[in-house]
Chains A and B, each alone.
Chain A
Amino acid sequence: MKKILVLLLVFALVVPLAVACGNGGSDVNEGDGVNEDIDEGGDNPWAGTKITVILPDHEMDNIGLHRDKTLQFTEETGIEVELINKGWEAAADDILGDLVTGGGSYDVIEFDNAWIAKFIANEWVIPLDEFITPDIKSGLLPGLYNKFSVGGKCYGIAWNNDTRFYMYNDQMLEDAGLSEPPKTWDEVLAAAKVLQSSGVSDIAYLDTYKQEQMGCNELLFVIYSFGGELIDGSGNPVANTNAGVREAYDFLAQAYKERVFSPDALISDYEEVADAFFAGTFPLFLQAWPGVYADSNDGSRSKIVGQVSVADFSVSKTGAEQTVLTLPEAMAIPTTSQNKEAAWEYIKYMSSIEFDKERALAIGSLPIWSDLYNDPQLLALYPYWEQFGKQAQSAKGYPDILWVDDFADVVAKVSQKILAGNTTVAAGLDEMQQLLQDAKDNYVDE
């Protein structure tokens, strides 16, 4: 009896191992099957090839356009695609987790504008120059193409021209007796008082100053709009010496104190900000992504249909400076991909001018191809792109530094302290400077 028991135990141990090995083997067999398919198919070199793509959800794609287009890509090319779409933070965790543990899980990855220096220094992505045709190079928006190019090599092709614009609720401003949207930060302060006293809204705006990278995004916009920089041209922190930074934080601290923006900014994310705007809670959406306009006119989601306009300008210190935030996202091929050619086919397809136009028509996304900004069909559909063009005279994103994650972390955390008045602006900026300097000095990937 005991022998039988022991034999059963051994069996229980060996069988799962054998099955596991068998599964591994079956993958190989499937691979063999792929070769057979190719042999049988003959004329399709991609038949049976499978790639894995991980990209964050496109904030404007509420209709599953990217997924549908990916299916169409598979039908047309025969390249099977496992498309993984997640929220940005979750996708970033998966991508970074994979890359730091040796990679190999993905063939096409999200390549965020903030990651450029870090990914290239760590040799995590390959240059795409051998694949990029002259048409692509000359046709894409120069700013986007250059953003993902370092040392004369291009490492990513943009798929999301995520640039932010100033939009406002006409109706709410009119109800408060404001004839036009504020152009300078001082006017924002004044407008808040009018909105509060008229009972139209208890805040002028809500944004995300959350303790995450998205919070840092929006803080950077305010700093840029005051002509400030946290990092100088040599990559050194200048938080407590840059005049624009000081002015920006003086404004933010005052605005928090006077409830110009909602205290909930310290905890809200982009979605919550948009939802509050669509609910008619506040009139000024300082850095709205292009899809906000279309969504605000979608009655199933918004209570402010027909009330939103796009400004000719972005809010700034004097009204003369025009800066908007640009946070483009690209597709890149990891060094560890085993299917680089197939991966490029996917990138090429998903960044083609044809799909770019289709996407713009369907969801109102900003094109990545220069020619589409003169496309009569698109201009007729989106007349406010003219205002976008005026605002985007100077679009700025993250500084190109290797320690960008620490940078965003420090900025978001210390800023909350300053905003809430738990430290003075001067002391807070001194602390920020020290922490940024430490982060820079201590950065060794670890």
Chain B
Amino acid sequence: MKNKSYFDRHLGQFLIAPGTLVIFGVMLTPIFYAFYISLNKLTFRGENTLYDFVGFGNYVDIVAKDPWFSKSILTTLEFTLLTVAAEIVLGIGIALVLNKEFFGRGFVRGLMILPWAMPTVVNAVMWKWILNPNYGAANGILLKLGLIENKVYWLATPRGAFLSILVANVWKETPYVVLLTIAALSTIPEDLYEAGSIDGAGGWKAFWKITLPLIKQVVLILTITKTIWAFQTFDLVVVMTSGGPENSTNLLSYYIYRVAFKMNRFGSAAAMSYSLSMLCFLLTFIYIKVFMGSGDEPKQDKLAKKQRRQLR
């Protein structure tokens, strides 16, 4: 042991050095710098940027003085909760269907992934076309079927626009849930269902008692990632609505972009970004608490952990 060379002793550090450098360079430095910006008001003169330290003044201002920020937060929360719920429920439902044996299952599974493989901007442009009141497919089909009498201006009303970007997002993102849920479902042994059916568990009960508990970890990961992605929704808003009408689709990512790059209020935009991150963190924390609540770990595991801690 004493003869261990310098390289041997520090091999671990050497191995993680490249990754650490990358993390510091492209992740931590911008994060800390953005926090520093959020504590300043920036003024621009020629080539110079002047920093006026205001402490948490920007954080206070975006809540107290910015007329659009609070509304944007509420809109983003509503969008996130609805889109995540819809994607998870639909995704699990479709995955359950696609997990059954039927002719052409492989083809349908392949088809399912297409929306997710589509670039978000293309998806947004496509939905904007579909919802165009004059030549869009939505009005065309509904008019021909006699379900509507006059053309509908889908994106021109606040609620219509909000629901439109919601549908566009759910359509694109649900296949990802399907994909991962199918993978999780394939790991559940068939014996469990057979045992369940002997015990009298029907389809619905088997889902709640066998399927869902066994795919819970995957659903949790999906819920967390989907929540973060929903908070980041930007392209759909840019292409389809520009945040309107009447701020109904002014999601926080888009609003931060406008504050930073249109109004050049970088301090405020950085403060909003940090608020958004905190919101993401809070929701993720809640999800973990809900999904992995006290009843999750078997009691003996908890006891064993407690004993190990006491021994230490």
Contacts and interface: CB of A to CB of B under 8 A. Distances in A.
Contacts of A2: 7-8, 11
B146 interface: no
A99 B45 CA distance: 9
Contact of A420 (B18, B45, B46, B246): B246
B49 interface: yes
A246 interface: no
- The bracket for how many chain A residues form the interface is 35 or more
B14 A6 contact: yes
B43 A420 contact: no
Identify the interface centre among A122, A211, A262: most chain B CB within 10 Å of its CB.
A211
A164 B17 CA distance: 60
Interface in A99-113: 99-104
A259 to B, nearest CB: 10
Contacts of B246: 211, 266, 413, 416-417, 420, 422
Interface in A240-288: 262-267, 276, 279, 281
A405 B263 contact: yes
B251 to A, nearest CB: 13
A367 B52 CA distance: 45
Contacts, number: 128
Given A100-B44, A211-B242, A405-B262, A264 B18 contact: no
Contacts of A276: 134
B17 A102 contact: no
Contact of B261 (A9, A93, A103, A416): A93
- The bracket for how many chain B residues form the interface is 35 or more
B283 interface: no
A409 interface: yes
B153 A96 contact: no
A52 interface: no
B43 A445 contact: yes
Interface of B: 5, 7-8, 11, 14-15, 17-18, 21, 41-49, 52, 65, 67-68, 133-135, 153, 155-158, 161, 241-247, 250, 258, 261-268
22 contacts: A6-B7, A12-B18, A13-B17, A13-B18, A99-B44, A100-B264, A102-B49, A263-B153, A266-B246, A267-B161, A279-B134, A279-B135, A412-B244, A413-B68, A416-B245, A416-B246, A420-B158, A435-B67, A444-B41, A444-B43, A446-B264, A446-B268
Given A210-B242, A264-B153, A445-B42, A102 B18 contact: no
Given A2-B11, A93-B261, A413-B68, A262 B18 contact: no
B134 A281 contact: yes
Identify the interface centre among A266, A267, A420: most chain B CB within 10 Å of its CB.
A267
Contact of B156 (A6, A104, A264): A264
Contact of B244 (A12, A210, A335): A210
B49 A100 contact: yes
B177 to A, nearest CB: 29
A115 B180 CA distance: 49
Contacts of A101: 49
Contacts of B245: 211, 266-267, 416, 420
Identify the interface centre among B18, B42, B52, B244: most chain A CB within 10 Å of its CB.
B244
Nearest to A256: B156
Contact of A123 (B14, B46, B247): B46
Contacts of A124: 44, 46
A170 interface: no
B263 A264 contact: no
A336 B47 contact: yes
A336 B44 CA distance: 13
A92 B14 CA distance: 44
Contacts of A102: 47-49
B14 A9 contact: yes
B128 to A, nearest CB: 9
Contacts of B41: 444-446
